[in-house]
Amino acid sequence: MKTTLQDKIYRKLHDWFWNKLQPGRWSLWLFRSWRHYRFRNREHKKETSESGAPLYLTQEPNKGAGIGHQMGNWNAGYWFAKRFGVQYAYSSFPDPAWDRFLGFGEGEVTAKELLRQGYKKRKLPYFEETSTEDMELIQAVIDSYRGERIVFFLELDQFYEKQYGAMEHIRQKFYSAPARKNESLIYQKDCLNIAVHIRRGDITAGQETQEEELTKRWLTTDYYVRLLREILGLFSEDTVYCVYLFSQGKESDFPELQEIPNVVYCLDMPAKESFLHMVRADILLTSKSSFSYKPALLSTGLKLCPAHFWHGYPESEDFIVVDEEEGLREEQRASICRIQKRTGKH
């Protein structure tokens, strides 16, 4: 599904209002849901969702964003529905092929279906998930509708930092999806397959303009080379491995990688295939990008991730959080060796 001109105009105006003007608490008045909470009849006896209609909550994927970003929207909707004690309603991706690929929407009621059934749409104000005051306010707004037929919509790109809170749920959907039966990989079965995602493309221009939103997403190729050297140095001499680079551009854009043996450049691979290969890698080196962060959440392999990222990582042995300047710590090297041995490819 293509992004329409109307969608683009809406996002531009939305971004200008919320990010540039940064309205304060007065912006609550813009939301019908908050006005309902603020002025409802105080004597009205609230019904519970069990005695009335269940409440639902959803987050629509940003139509102009990439799939990693859109999965973040999905995770936010699912997580905050649980957090606020309501049912989750599914909002599909702009490209339904991603729904089928990820297994999302299977067995879930959609927000569109609920609206067709007579549910009313109510948008929730933006809130800071780390603010107790904000969270209590949103909970009170939702509770003011108990017993009514309401689908709450989170605002565009409502932030959810610890995306791994939805990890087990999205893994279950991904691995049980019918699309798993038709997977095709270029990996070799008896080879230790290492996937590396280097974010380039949209952020490359930021190295000249020094725009903060772009520079904070940048990791040098040297960072990956140093990390690969450390990892490969832990392998025994007879280890058979291959390094697969997923990025944009030309092979000549990554001259530093020439010193790493057995590199396969997957620079023209379509998005779904690249995403799948990152999920299925034995070892995945992520970038400061949702496009490799989300495969890391789905992956059952070893993940090495940059420390300074705006989403959290689970405290799990298979997630190695790497200091971008200092590299691996001794206990992290030991952890990599243990996990590598479990693969049987060492």
Q: Is the dihedral of CA 205, 210, 215, 220 positive or negative?
A: positive
Q: Using alpha carbons, select from 85, 78, 265 the residue that is nearest to residue 173.
A: 78
Under the banding of pLDDT at 50, 70 and 90, the label for residue 18 is low
User: Model pTM greater than 0.85?
Assistant: yes
- Residue pLDDT, tens place only, 79-120: 999 999 999 999 999 999 999 999 998 889 999 999 999 999
Instruction: Report which of 91, 96, 112 is spatially closest to residue 1, judged by C-alpha positions.
Output: 96
The DSSP bridge partners found for residue 193 are: 242
Q: Does domain 187-343 have CATH number 3.30.390.50?
A: no
| Domain extent listing, the chain | 5-181, 187-343
The mean pLDDT of 24-52, rounded to a whole number, is: 72
Strand residues in the chain grouped as ranges (E): 56-58, 87-88, 120-123, 150-153, 192-197, 241-246, 263-266, 283-285, 302-306, 319-322
Question: Residue type for 39, please?
Answer: F
What does the pLDDT look like over 116-175, one tens digit per residue? 999 999 999 999 999 999 999 999 999 999 999 999 999 999 999 999 999 999 999 999
The residue that leads in pLDDT, 25 or 214, is 25
**% of the chain at pLDDT higher than 90:** 63
pLDDT bucket at 346, cuts 50 / 70 / 90: low
For residues 33-43, average pLDDT: 79
